Amino acid sequence: MLDSFKELSPVMQAFIATLFTWGITALGASIVFFFKKVNKTVMDALLGFAAGVMVAASFFSLISPALEMAEELEMTTWLVISLGFLSGGILLFISDKVYDYLEKVRKKETDSKAKRCFMLISSITIHNIPEGMAVGVAFGSLAYALSGSTLAAALALALGIGLQNFPEGSAVSLPLRREGYSRKKAFFFGQLSGVVEPIAAVIGALLVLKIQVILPFLLAFAAGAMIYVVVEELIPESQTNKKKDLMAIFTIIGFMVMMILDVALG
């Protein structure tokens, strides 16, 4: 199966990989069928592991190949990578502000269940766009055979994003269930928030393939987006657990797994 996957175009690889991340979102949303709430320790361990994977992926899969290609294209390496990295973080910062605004409006609009539902889904969906693009850029960069850009690294990046999508799916479906939606409807809207990732991934991969000169910027952009997610969401949330030292170990394990996949198997 892996050999068949290798033969696919980078765009199709990115699409399939983000179908996986969408599937994990749906899996998280399916919690609504079984539980009223999710075990916090399990969820925090999952977030800590995903944080480690994404930190390692940001360097091994994104920054390192971006530096290499920027040098090959005779760009001002430090400037291009810095601008790309900062832009990725700023986009996520803006999406978080939009999320905060929608949350405030949602809480005020107590008379419209449909409006609250729309705002909850929209906030998570906006957040997922740069994550999907990051996967697309990682797979698109494989076409240029950069030393730091490997299939194993791109797959691990998709795995990390998929893992952190699990709580996002449940973060939509469980509140909707509490607001009176049926389990089926709550699940449907929960998984719907992940639909945007395959679309964004295809766009990211196509951009990389069609306009090679922007690849270093896009790789750094994706890295900045990933680090923002890790620092602003994953690690702080995992560290709210009473066993915060154990959660830190899961972050280290996540980093180690990603490093092994990239260095040993890439």
**The token pair that represents 127 in the structure block:** 């957040």
Q: Write out pLDDT tens, residues 200-211.
A: 999 989 988 888
Is there a domain that residue 2 lies in? Answer: no
Cβ distance 258 to 60 under 8 Å? yes
Assign 17 a pLDDT band (cuts: 50, 70, 90): very high
With residues binned 3-state (H G I as helix, E B as strand, rest as coil), the percentages for the chain, rounded to 5, are 85, 0, 15
Is there a domain that residue 211 lies in? Answer: yes
- Give dist(CA 78, CA 57) in Å, integer: 19
Q: pLDDT at residue 15 above 70?
A: yes
Is there a domain that residue 64 lies in? Answer: yes
CA angle 197, 179, 103 (to 5 degrees): 55
- Give dist(CA 259, CA 266) in Å, integer: 10
Q: pLDDT at residue 232 above 60?
A: yes
- For residue 96, how many C-alpha atoms fall within 13 Å in the half-sphere facing its CB? 12
Q: Write out pLDDT tens, residues 172-193.
A: 788 778 777 888 988 998 898 8
Is there a domain that residue 7 lies in? Answer: no
Is there a domain that residue 33 lies in? Answer: no
In percent, the amount of the chain with pLDDT more than 70 equals 86
Is there a domain that residue 42 lies in? Answer: no
Q: pLDDT at residue 111 above 60?
A: no
Range of the domain at 171: 12-28+47-263
pTM here?
0.72
Is there a domain that residue 100 lies in? Answer: yes
